[in-house]
Amino acid sequence: MAENERNNDTLKENIVYVGKKPTMNYVLAVVTQFNSGVPEVTIKARGNAISRAVDVKEIVQNKFMPGLKEKGIKTSSEEITNEDGTRSKVSAIQIVLGK
Amino acid sequence: MAENERNNDTLKENIVYVGKKPTMNYVLAVVTQFNSGVPEVTIKARGNAISRAVDVKEIVQNKFMPGLKEKGIKTSSEEITNEDGTRSKVSAIQIVLGK
């Protein structure tokens, strides 16, 4: 219990940001967070990484932790500033998995 | 009303499959379906097209039809047969928008 409290404190929001690394890196990150005792993990991604975020969710649920429940999937639009200073919109996804 | 019934009949499931074409093609397909009178449209995609499906949803909701509600987002895994006969798993998404 004291162990769980400590982990909840250090990883308060339990978010895994999915980017361009291999999918299994993020799968491992999610599984590690659950094994550290947190009850929920949020997977976030933007743009092209959205597909990879869905892969991460499916692999975690189907191969590693079949008991996990999907607590919600939300999409949104975020505005980013490009290298040349112009602004453009990019889609984002947020997937919450819980025990 | 008769008009709506006819369209509901021909486009019974009101599904837009998102693939590799430009995003706006699919945005137009979704908006066209709603304008034909159907109350719900489902956006489906697999693999890398998942990111584009989320873009389609965000653009339809934010630019074209701000009154639309998100009725649900589901993800799943599907098994596909590759060209060489091997089978692999691919993630899929299904987004339901409704009036």
**Closest approach of B38 to chain A, Cα-based (Å):** 23
**pLDDT at residue A7, as a whole number:** 47
User: Whose structure tokens read 């995003």?
Assistant: B23
Which of B49, B57, B77 lies closest to A75 in CB terms? B57
Q: Give B-chain residues touching A75 at CB under 8 angstroms.
A: 54, 57-58, 70, 73, 95
Calpha distance B54→B18 (Å, rounded): 10
- Other residues' Cβ atoms within 10 Å of the Cβ of residue A64: 14
pLDDT (tens digit per residue) in B10-42:
445 799 999 999 999 999 999 999 999 999 999
B2-98 is a CATH 3.40.50.300 domain: no
**pLDDT at residue A1, as a whole number:** 44
Does A56 reach chain B within 8 Å, measured CB to CB?
Answer: no
**pLDDT at residue B75, as a whole number:** 97
pLDDT (tens digit per residue) in B46-92:
999 999 999 999 999 999 999 999 999 999 999 989 899 999 999 99
pLDDT (tens digit per residue) in A32-52:
999 999 999 999 999 999 999
**pLDDT at residue A12, as a whole number:** 56
Residue pair B65/B31 in contact by the 8 Å Cβ criterion: yes
What ipTM did this prediction achieve? Answer: 0.83
Q: Does B96 have pLDDT greater than 90?
A: yes
Taking the CA of residue B11 as centre, how many other CA atoms within 13 Å lie in the half-sphere pointing to its CB? 20
Q: Give A-chain residues touching B73 at CB under 8 angstroms.
A: 73-75
Does B58 reach chain A within 8 Å, measured CB to CB?
Answer: yes
Does B97 reach chain A within 8 Å, measured CB to CB?
Answer: no
Contacts of B95 (CB under 8 A, 6+ apart): A75, B42, B43, B44, B53, B54, B57, B70, B72, B73
